[in-house]
Chain A
Amino acid sequence: MLEIKNLHANVDGREILKGLDLTLPTGEVHAIMGPNGSGKSTLAYVLAGKEDYEVTEGSITWNGKDLLDLDPSARAATGVFLAFQYPMEIPGVATMTFLRSAVNAVRKARGEDELSTPDFMRLVKEKAKGLKIDAEMLRRPLNVGFSGGEKKRNEILQMALLEPSLCVLDETDSGLDIDALRIVADGVNALRSKERSMLVITHYQRLLDYIVPDKVHVLSKGRVARSGGPELALELEKTGYAEFGGEATAA
């Protein structure tokens, strides 16, 4: 279970998260919505442990463990995974090489043996197939020249390979065409399980048609302003964020 209590976080000396509370039970999927600039990505980065995001107050525990004590790689090892809103490019590093380094780093940290080359190749092939990622793409340098959709599918591939227990998806649906959206959603749904919790950040009800959340939270000005069932997303679709002080109308 993920428990976030009274979380305050600064970026460049400016307070962005202002007393955020959120509880995500193990095995559940919660959607996070909210106007631009409300702090959704900030929350995602704080969960993953980004350096310049300074937590000034409050706590985050994951299965009773204090997440704030851990550096980013240790968080990855305990099962935290962030699918980035804007995945980074790393020139010259073949996607396959990156995936392998990541899988083995996490396995090592978890006290497991590194995967042999054939075992790893088999695993990647299997996971990539479901996401319609071909071998050619895996040979290309990580995210370099990838289309928006390819980058997002690549994030889900990493998630599938690293088998995290806490998945944070930051606008994984933005920039996807209808077909890609379905592929990604299927990929995410395939990873839903009793042991795995997910935070799905999105602006669109459309994604939640595919990935039906257990709960929906609306973020506004760095706090959870409202929580509800899946129907809350439908309501927002009609009314927009006006009541939360956002400028955005219906998406």
Chain B
Amino acid sequence: MAAVQETVERVKEIDVDQYKYGFFTDIESVKAPKGLNEDIVRFISAKKHEPEWLLKWRLEAFRRWQTMQEPEWANVHYPKIDFQDLYYYSAPKSTEGPKSLAEVDPELLATYAKLGIPLKEQEVLAGVKGAPRVAVDAVFDSVSVVTTFKEELSKAGVIFCSISEAVKNHPDLVQKYLGSVVPATDNFYATLNSAVFSDGSFVYVPEGVRCPMELSTYFRINAEQTGQFERTLIIADKGSYVSYLEGCTAPMRDENQLHAAVVELVALEDAEIKYSTVQNWYPGDKNGKGGIYNFVTKRGDCRGDRSKISWTQVETGSAITWKYPSCILRGNGSRGEFYSIAISNGYQQVDSGTKMIHLGKDTSSRIISKGIAAGRSNNTYRGLVSAHRKATNARNFTVCDSLLIGDKCGAHTVPYIEAKNASATFEHEATTSKISDDQLFYCLSRGLSEEEAVALIVNGFVRDVLQQLPMEFMAETQKLISISLEGSVG
């Protein structure tokens, strides 16, 4: 058996069984009754003490959703989801009422500690084991349990809180921007999310402010048969800058769990938003049983001139990923970037990519996508680059590289290009390669184990994208990549 073949066999058994975050926290929770109807929408809204306008907005979305069809154009296959067989709201009982770090259920703190997420500001401040200085919003099932470093951030004028809190404390901002990038009627999952969204993060960076630290939200699905529908809204006012990171995990379960999030970014004049994701939802077991369905709508609006939005994603988890973080380049001279590493193993299916919609003059975009397929997985890059009639001098540069490990997996590239303005320059490069037996042997003959060799080669393959991640998360991500492809390391 050739070395690569053997690696493939081995890889097939791992990943999924290697999932380190598969534990379940036994904690009492409050749930809405199973199923979805107007009453459930009202229940969620009432639980969150929402204003009338928001309830109305949710109900409209719900009515619209009932008329919509699940999209089928993506290169993913799964049994039909029974939307009436899910819980749409689940919250740890202890989170009702006010919450400061001191009041957070120790069981929850322990959960996050186990996940390696620092929630104790003192520890972070004391620089325990070089913990990165990052403000964290921790979302557990349907609610945010705590947000750290709030005070320090508010000194800089930065608002960082859960979206439920923002609805309460900053209703004007929420009402002004919610749904302004991803309309409530955008697509099947986004519309569903609009009707039942639970929690998520809210960020507002005022004019001219450079956010003094990394912001991060950590999502955890814990409860059974519960969909997670979080909603994130980030607004960077004129000339401001913010870097934000999202992480996620879930327990191992035999059933599939639905995660349908919406993320909206708004960058005003000269503002910059850097949004990074390390997606590590439970991918299912080695036979393809269980795992998260990750159907997410993420979109950034470069609303102001010379604004910039950059998406960086590392996708290692989920049974099925359906995700296209996009940029609307509305402002003149605005810029969109998309850097992606998508690793699929076992029976995972990934259909991911981006859309760069050039509307303004002199807009530019850059797409670097690295897909790695192993096991029996399927990995599709789907991208759209378009230039509007008025988008003179639109420029795009796209590189799509795929790496195959073994011969039972698939990698596909589906690029769409539409230029309605003749001055547009769009460049596209794509490659597909394999880890060769010779490369592997070269590494082995230098003493590396097969797992180390594969991890090294893959890390080399994704290097351009890794470098886009915030420093604090690079090493960790490198390790995650190794873990999702091999058995021994970590």
Q: Nearest Cβ in chain B — how far from A57, in angstroms?
A: 21
Given contacts A72-B441, A72-B444, A101-B456, contact A91 B461 (CB under 8 A): yes
Q: Nearest Cβ in chain B — how far from A83, in angstroms?
A: 10
Contact partner of B452 among A48, A52, A105, CB < 8 A?
Answer: A105
Q: Nearest Cβ in chain B — how far from A79, in angstroms?
A: 10
Cα separation A106 to B443 with both chains bound (whole Å): 11
Q: Does B103 belong to the interface (CB within 8 Å)?
A: no
Q: Nearest Cβ in chain A — how far from B320, in angstroms?
A: 28
Q: Does A31 belong to the interface (CB within 8 Å)?
A: no
Q: Does B471 belong to the interface (CB within 8 Å)?
A: no
Cα separation A87 to B457 with both chains bound (whole Å): 15
Q: Is the CB–CB distance between A92 and B464 below 8 Å? A: yes
CB neighbors of A among B433-490 (8 A): 436-439, 441-450, 452, 456-457, 459-464
Q: Which residues of B contact A101 (CB under 8 A)?
A: 446, 448, 452, 456
Q: Nearest Cβ in chain A — how far from B79, in angstroms?
A: 38
Cα separation A125 to B215 with both chains bound (whole Å): 39
Q: Nearest Cβ in chain B — how far from A75, in angstroms?
A: 8
Cα separation A142 to B438 with both chains bound (whole Å): 14
Interface size on B, residues (CB 8 A): 26
Q: Does A82 belong to the interface (CB within 8 Å)?
A: yes
Closest A-chain residue to B449, C-beta based? A73
Q: Is the CB–CB distance between B447 and A87 below 8 Å? A: no
Q: Does A141 belong to the interface (CB within 8 Å)?
A: yes
Q: Does A178 belong to the interface (CB within 8 Å)?
A: no
Q: Which residues of B contact A167 (CB under 8 A)?
A: none
Contact partner of B444 among A76, A84, A141, CB < 8 A?
Answer: A76
Q: Does B128 belong to the interface (CB within 8 Å)?
A: no
Contact partner of B447 among A52, A97, A109, CB < 8 A?
Answer: A109
Q: Does A123 belong to the interface (CB within 8 Å)?
A: no
Q: Does A204 belong to the interface (CB within 8 Å)?
A: no
Cα separation A87 to B439 with both chains bound (whole Å): 9
Q: Nearest Cβ in chain B — how far from A167, in angstroms?
A: 12
Q: Does A51 belong to the interface (CB within 8 Å)?
A: yes
Q: Nearest Cβ in chain A — how far from B278, in angstroms?
A: 19
Closest A-chain residue to B441, C-beta based? A50
Q: Which residues of B contact A105 (CB under 8 A)?
A: 446-449, 452
Q: Does B2 belong to the interface (CB within 8 Å)?
A: yes
Q: Does A77 belong to the interface (CB within 8 Å)?
A: yes
CB neighbors of A among B88-108 (8 A): none
Given contacts A76-B447, A101-B452, A105-B448, contact A92 B459 (CB under 8 A): yes
Cα separation A6 to B436 with both chains bound (whole Å): 31
Q: Which residues of A contact B462 (CB under 8 A)?
A: 92
Q: Is the CB–CB distance between A91 and B460 below 8 Å? A: yes
Cα separation A50 to B437 with both chains bound (whole Å): 9
Interface centre among B2, B446, B463, by most A CB within 10 Å? B446
Q: Nearest Cβ in chain A — how far from B232, in angstroms?
A: 31
Q: Does B3 belong to the interface (CB within 8 Å)?
A: yes
Q: Which residues of B contact A84 (CB under 8 A)?
A: 442
Q: Nearest Cβ in chain B — how far from A248, in angstroms?
A: 26
Q: Is the CB–CB distance between B446 and A162 below 8 Å? A: yes
Q: Is the CB–CB distance between A88 and B438 below 8 Å? A: yes
Q: Does A102 belong to the interface (CB within 8 Å)?
A: yes
Given contacts A92-B461, A92-B463, A93-B457, contact A73 B2 (CB under 8 A): no
Q: Is the CB–CB distance between B460 and A72 below 8 Å? A: no
Q: Is the CB–CB distance between A88 and B437 below 8 Å? A: no
Q: Is the CB–CB distance between B437 and A76 below 8 Å? A: no
CB neighbors of A among B404-452 (8 A): 436-439, 441-450, 452
Cα separation A51 to B439 with both chains bound (whole Å): 12
Q: Does A205 belong to the interface (CB within 8 Å)?
A: no
Q: Nearest Cβ in chain B — how far from A52, in angstroms?
A: 7
Q: Is the CB–CB distance between A102 and B460 below 8 Å? A: no
Q: Is the CB–CB distance between A92 and B460 below 8 Å? A: yes
Q: Does A231 belong to the interface (CB within 8 Å)?
A: no
Q: Which residues of B contact A158 (CB under 8 A)?
A: 446
0/1 string, A78-110, CB within 8 A of B gives 1: 001110100111111100011001100110010
Q: Which residues of A contact B460 (CB under 8 A)?
A: 90-93, 141-142
Cα separation A89 to B449 with both chains bound (whole Å): 18
Cα separation A80 to B447 with both chains bound (whole Å): 9
Q: Does A214 belong to the interface (CB within 8 Å)?
A: no
Q: Which residues of B contact A109 (CB under 8 A)?
A: 447
Cα separation A90 to B443 with both chains bound (whole Å): 10
* Interface residues in chain A, defined as those with a beta carbon under 8 Å from any beta carbon in chain B: 48-52, 71-73, 75-77, 80-82, 84, 87-93, 97-98, 101-102, 105-106, 109, 141-142, 158, 162
Can you name 15 A-B residue pairings with CB atoms under 8 Å? A49-B445, A51-B3, A72-B445, A73-B444, A73-B445, A76-B446, A76-B447, A88-B436, A90-B439, A91-B460, A93-B456, A93-B457, A93-B459, A101-B456, A105-B447
Chain A to chain B: the 10 pairs with minimum beta-carbon distance, closest first: A92-B460, A93-B460, A76-B447, A106-B447, A72-B444, A102-B446, A88-B442, A105-B447, A92-B463, A105-B448
